């Protein structure tokens, strides 16, 4: 049983949403460095609470320095995916990682991360929709592309972390077919457990397709799912007998894959050894993944999810702009659940809300580095938002503005065509 982390200040017992606000991105000062040093020594003793053992009770409001540190650390492991992904169409490594497994962490500036990359993960979107998409080359839409990596903590870092940590890190949406997969907004039964299909557990079809598509078999890789389950199982078996944790982190589309993998691991019981290995998802700017049945099953299995969300980020409101967890039940002299409740999308886990926006660069609202830099800022405010805090009358205009500006302002990824296509799709959701 983990111990209890105490804040320096008295903690509020309420479960209000926590909001970090600010526009300028501040770097760590000497005081922050001192806090980091102290929290680092605490992690080995309190890692289970940081991984969500108690659903982050009293750690989100106010945001505990140790949890803040870990959110940043896992976020940087996801950022590594973007830095290492090759988007140069003339490169021989196009749509793959620029570096080998042994050098990747060093090349992206994370040589002191304490993790060793053990496997690269590839996926191929299985896209089959009748919507004309501009400039989507058949070669790029059908080929397998690098989606992330599996890593494990080193012997030295085990002492600092308090356990052997198996990490899977996923990048977000980059290519046109991936954007299309993001917006294939229909629910379909997950059916990941062959012994119990659970037809009431439904997930977004585009994410499931990316996760399970066997198109990668053409390249001798197996599906994204097969690659992941095989490597995670191998590492769990290799380090059996040790204190272990499974941490899945992703941004945007990557957070959806992280949650699907977490559910898959728990549903198949891969984390059940002599003691249950905790499975935790750190989601950055992630959309909804499944329906209320999926959420309930994740909760039942003990999958812990911490969603880091910018309140101005339209991607976090998709899919299920209208039919979501806020539109399932009517409280009218009693509790009435609508017949379509099983078709409503629902977020999973605990939410940590950030609040940032740049008028000159609206695309920053979904940028992972903006998320991380704000978390590094010492400026923190607490606000209480009701159930309708996510409502936005200008949501579709914001989404379109975000996507189009993203194509012009985000230097890392040439998204102009993809963003234009997806902006049109978002606009069409009105009808």
Contacts 24+ apart (CB under 8 A), 357-360: 357/23, 357/312, 358/23
Catalytic residues: 252, 313, 366
DSSP 92: T
Angle (nearest 5°) at CA 65 between 356 and 84: 60
Nearest in space to 249 (alpha carbons), one of 179, 308, 313, 167: 167
Nearest in space to 287 (alpha carbons), one of 378, 210, 341: 210
pLDDT in tens, the chain (431 residues): 555 665 543 233 233 345 554 433 334 445 555 555 566 679 999 999 999 999 999 999 999 999 999 999 999 999 999 999 999 999 999 999 999 999 999 999 999 999 999 999 999 876 554 444 444 444 455 578 999 999 999 999 999 999 999 999 999 987 666 666 666 668 999 999 999 999 999 999 989 999 998 765 555 689 999 999 999 999 999 999 999 999 999 999 999 999 999 999 999 999 998 889 999 999 999 999 999 999 999 999 999 999 999 999 999 998 866 555 555 544 444 444 554 556 789 999 999 999 988 766 777 899 999 999 999 985 544 333 344 444 444 544 554 454 445 444 444 343 344 444 444 444 443 33
Question: Which string of b and e fits 93-106 if b means at least 16 CB within 10 Å?
Answer: eebbbbbeeeebbe
What are 418's two structure tokens? 């993809």
Angle (nearest 5°) at CA 41 between 233 and 156: 45
How far apart CA 75 and CA 368 sit, in angstroms, is 8
Q: Give the dihedral sign, CA 320/369/302/19.
A: negative
Q: Which CATH code is given to the segment(s) 26-397?
A: 3.40.50.1820
């Amino acid at each position: 049983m983990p111990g209890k982390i105490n804040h320096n200040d008295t903690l509020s017992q309420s479960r209000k949403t926590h909001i970090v606000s600010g526009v300028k991105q501040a770097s760590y000062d000497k005081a922050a460095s001192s806090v980091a040093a102290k929290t680092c020594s605490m992690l080995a003793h309190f890692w289970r609470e940081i991984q969500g053992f108690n659903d982050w009770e009293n750690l989100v409001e106010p945001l505990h320095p140790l949890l803040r540190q870990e959110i940043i650390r896992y976020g940087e492991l996801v950022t590594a995916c973007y830095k290492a992904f090759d988007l140069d169409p003339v490169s021989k490594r196009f749509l793959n990682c620029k570096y080998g497994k042994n050098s990747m962490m060093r090349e992206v500036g994370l040589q002191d991360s304490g993790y060793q990359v053990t496997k690269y993960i590839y996926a191929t979107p299985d896209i089959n929709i009748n919507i004309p998409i501009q400039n989507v080359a058949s070669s790029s839409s059908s080929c397998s592309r690098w989606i992330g990596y599996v890593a494990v903590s080193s012997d030295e870092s085990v002492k600092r972390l308090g356990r052997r940590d198996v990490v899977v890190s996923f990048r977000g949406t980059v290519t046109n077919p991936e954007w299309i997969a993001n917006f294939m907004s229909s629910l379909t039964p997950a059916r990941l457990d062959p012994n119990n299909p659970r037809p009431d557990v439904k997930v977004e079809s585009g994410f499931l397709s990316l996760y399970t598509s066997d198109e990668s078999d053409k390249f001798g890789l197996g599906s994204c799912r097969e690659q992941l389950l095989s490597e995670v199982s191998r590492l769990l078996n290799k380090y059996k007998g040790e204190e272990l944790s499974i941490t899945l982190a992703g941004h945007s589309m990557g957070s959806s894959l992280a949650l699907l993998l977490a559910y898959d691991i728990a549903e198949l019981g891969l984390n059940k050894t002599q003691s249950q290995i905790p499975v935790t998802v750190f989601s950055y700017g992630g959309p909804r993944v499944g329906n209320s049945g999926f959420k309930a099953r994740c909760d039942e299995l003990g999958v812990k999810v911490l969603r880091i969300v910018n309140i101005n980020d339209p991607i976090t409101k998709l899919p299920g702009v209208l039919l979501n967890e806020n539109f399932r039940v009517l409280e009218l002299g009693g509790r009435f659940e609508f017949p379509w409740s099983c078709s409503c999308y629902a977020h999973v886990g605990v939410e940590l809300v950030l609040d940032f926006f740049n008028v000159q660069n609206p695309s920053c609202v979904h940028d992972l580095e903006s998320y991380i830099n704000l978390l590094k800022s010492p400026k923190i405010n607490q606000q209480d938002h009701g159930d309708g805090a996510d409502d936005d009358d200008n949501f579709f205009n914001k989404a379109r503005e975000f996507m189009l500006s993203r194509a012009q302002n985000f230097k890392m990824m040439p998204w102009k065509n993809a963003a234009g296509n997806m902006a049109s799709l978002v606009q069409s959701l009105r009808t």
